[in-house]
Chains A and B, each alone.
Chain A
Amino acid sequence: MTMRYQRQEIWLYLQFPLLSLEALLPELSPEQQSKPIAVISSEKNTQRVLCCNSQAGAWGIEPNLSISTALVLCPELMTLSRQPEKEQQQLQQLALLAYSFSPVVILPNERKQKSNNFKFSTRPLGLWLEISGCDKLFKGYNNLLQALAKKLQDQSISSVTGIAHNPMAAQLLCQPEFQCQLPTTTEIQQQLLSTNLSQLDCSTYQQQSFKRLGLNHVGDLLALSRSALSRRFDHQLMDIIAQLKNEKPFSARRFQPANSFRDVIQNTQGIFNKENLLFPMKTLLQRLCLYLSARYCHCRELEWHFEPLIGEAKTMKVQLSSRHNNWSDLLLLSRLQLERLELPRSIEQITLFSNQFIDVPQGSFNLDLFGEHHCSEQSSELIDRLNARLGIDALSRPTLNQDYLPEQASSLANIDKQTDDNPNKKSTAPQPLWLLTEPAPIQIRNQQLYWHQPLTIVSGPERICGNWWQTEQQRDYYLACDSSGARYWLFRETSSQRWFIHGLFS
């Protein structure tokens, strides 16, 4: 059976038995979290315990207990109703985390889930990873499994695993704990053959017919010939058997990160000052960074929404130049901008949204020894920081324009606008370094120009014409100086014969 594959696939099934509970925990305060808690799901008008924390387990609460029995066992039990959307959201995040361990991550099929609603609602959620070939990066499969276990622990998500050579078997072989050792092929085979048939995901009718036929273990089923099986069972079970025998590939779409990022943290108590906002913001940014590294891209803009219980939500946009895949940098920038923002008194919900991404350019790994990339990285970091603290209007950059009138040939443009540096006409005449935003009129006293002090003309004129399609401008520019050696750029408008100062040579 194993000879048919060039490289034997290794499937890891990650199951999250307490996901329904863990998806709801972040909303609770720490003292609430230490109490016995159970998640209740309602099916066919009866409310049953779906899962519970260890404190509740100590009181004898276990899954499938009815809510009234549970409350009798433990009167101070805190019951939460199940929220499938939250679970799905959490599962997506876990898929993103798993995606950093293997490129093949498969989530349970949503279509099947709907048609088979009853079955799936009680079964804990899980996902598959194909980890063959990922051992080199982690220096061995056991290291990979340990690293994954640690990551999940950091997120305070409890998980159990099953490992086999096909996804179906991995799910069947799900152990009650997280395996940090990769089992050998013979171990897997033995375990699979001795697994009880009641674990198999099929209808109760099917289970009864197994009993009638005297089939107890998966091994008994696999020992039967194909013709014998197809006479007795429907095609759904035949599919499962084919998959268990590695005869049929697992047909499911691979997990792909979504096109945009949106994540929400709720705090039912409300957050009253900006310092306390930083902690949930940090969590959200850490999730964003996981997403960014999964998609292998950089983020261009962050959008924060701060929603109070009553009143209007506040939105804050953080512009990023590039090269930020580090949550601490993003937090610093958001924090600088947050200082300028007026917030409502209490914040209940924080949302982070981003849909503007650029791909990391090819070969942008920092391989050069001498840190040439470093300086451009530093400068974009600086621009981002200044932007965040001072606002976009405080920053500008001189730009060249295709025009002859000095005030139009040079302008201050917004920093995020790309400039094309085209030295068009090279003037031989002297040009100043400083330009007055508006030409200032000069007086004439005793046949001498006077601006703060008497000015003398040194050289000139250079005639500049322009703007002929509107009001025609014709100016003669002169270089002038005063008694202390400062040099000025003057012009005389030919139509009005008036003198203006337009710049300073510096």
Chain B
Amino acid sequence: MTNTEIISNLLTRQDTWRGRNRRLPRSTICTGHKDLNALLQGGWPASALIELMPQQLGIGELSLLLPTLKNHSHNGHLCLWLDPPYQPYAPSLSAAGIALDKLIIVRSKNIKEWLWVAEQSIRNGALLLAWVRQQPARYTQLRKLQLAAAESNSSAFIFSPIAALSAPSPATLRLKLDSQYIHQLQITLCKLRGRVAGAKLQLNLQQYPSQRTALNQLPTGRHRTYSDSAMLASQNSPLHN
């Protein structure tokens, strides 16, 4: 390889820092949320490792990725979920427009397998969603995945526990996710090249009717069971008349 070739190879990589030139044309993937696109300067960085750190599970961290997942699966690409914390609920995924036959769930037995699967998935162009479960992934391990992502065409999303926030990470983009109000996801930018960390964004998630109810105000009394209604129906049926 000649010198110019090496340099041009280096320059095409996402993770090469290029001095003051902050307005680099980068390839991005649309997030499906207008405000978030603006925050991330176009969308999720392509060919990069993205680390998401939710304060807690269940605040809407997966809904954030639903538009991305939908686009990806409709282009015929595979999406791999590595060690999800719970079982994905197929009816709601299907209702969100995700092709279920493009979804694979993989359970790893140890961190070695976890890393191997993650790397294979990235290198084979699948969209990776990986949950760090067993033990916090170390810098060198994540660095390996970041390198794999930089060499391939795909993005990889890693869900780390909030405790990982204090540790350094090689990921191109790091976001902290928490929620102050219900149905509102607060996104805090922790790291993105060309942006100052600390920018915040409130994102409205899917709206459900929301009026809070205390338990003692709930409709009480035993609901009519099937056997009751069956008895009622038999009493009213024309056969008995």
Contact = CB atoms under 8 A, between A and B. Distances in A.
Interface of A: 372, 375-376, 378-379, 381-383, 385-386, 389-390, 394-400, 406, 409-412, 415, 418-419, 421, 423, 426-427, 430-437, 444, 447-449, 456-459, 461, 463, 465, 468, 472, 474, 476, 479, 481, 484-488, 494-495, 497, 503-506
Contacts, number: 207
A433 B88 contact: yes
B10 to A, nearest CB: 25
A379, A411, A449, A481: residue with the most chain B Cβ atoms closer than 10 Å:
A379
B113 interface: yes
Contacts of B206: 430
A459 B180 CA distance: 18
Contacts of A448: 214-215
A485 B113 CA distance: 33
A398 B105 contact: yes
Contact of B59 (A409, A410, A430, A506): A506
Please list the 10 inter-chain residue pairs (A to B) with the smallest Cβ-Cβ separation, ordered nearest first: A485-B179, A486-B58, A410-B90, A434-B86, A506-B62, A379-B78, A504-B58, A382-B124, A431-B92, A398-B90
B163 interface: no
A456 B217 CA distance: 12
Given A395-B106, A459-B209, A410 B91 contact: yes
Given A410-B91, A412-B105, A379 B59 contact: no
B101 interface: yes
A506 B58 contact: yes
B71 to A, nearest CB: 14
Contacts of B104: 383, 386, 395-397, 415
Contacts of B214: 447-448, 456-457
Contacts of B116: 389
A447 to B, nearest CB: 5
Interface extent on B, as a size class? 35 or more
B120 A423 contact: no
Given A378-B78, A415-B104, 11 more contacts: A372-B76, A375-B125, A379-B126, A382-B121, A386-B106, A398-B93, A433-B63, A433-B89, A474-B226, A485-B184, A504-B57
Given A398-B88, A410-B89, A419-B100, A485 B181 contact: yes
B213 A457 contact: yes
A458 B226 contact: no
A470 to B, nearest CB: 12
A281 B4 CA distance: 42
Interface in B189-209: 206, 208-209
Contacts of B51: none
30 contacts: A382-B121, A386-B106, A390-B106, A396-B104, A396-B105, A400-B100, A406-B89, A421-B94, A426-B95, A431-B89, A434-B57, A434-B84, A434-B87, A435-B89, A437-B86, A437-B87, A449-B215, A456-B213, A456-B214, A457-B218, A463-B223, A472-B225, A485-B179, A485-B182, A485-B184, A486-B56, A486-B57, A488-B58, A506-B57, A506-B60
Most interface-central of A375, A389, A398 (chain B CB within 10 A): A398
Candidate in A418, A421, A474 with the most chain B CB atoms within 10 angstroms? A421
A390 B120 contact: no
A479 B190 CA distance: 31
Contact of B210 (A376, A458, A468): A458
Contacts of A412: 87, 105
B59 A486 contact: yes
A488 B57 CA distance: 10
Interface of B: 55-63, 75-78, 80, 84-95, 99-109, 113, 116-117, 120-121, 124-126, 178-184, 206, 208-216, 218-219, 222-223, 225-227
B142 to A, nearest CB: 21
B58 A444 contact: no
Given A398-B90, A447-B214, A423 B95 contact: yes
A458 B208 contact: yes
A394 B120 contact: no
A487 B100 contact: no
A211 B124 CA distance: 74
A419 B105 CA distance: 14
B23 to A, nearest CB: 30
A432 B89 contact: yes
B149 to A, nearest CB: 15
B101 A419 contact: yes
Contacts of A506: 57-63
Given A386-B117, A436-B86, A457 B92 contact: no
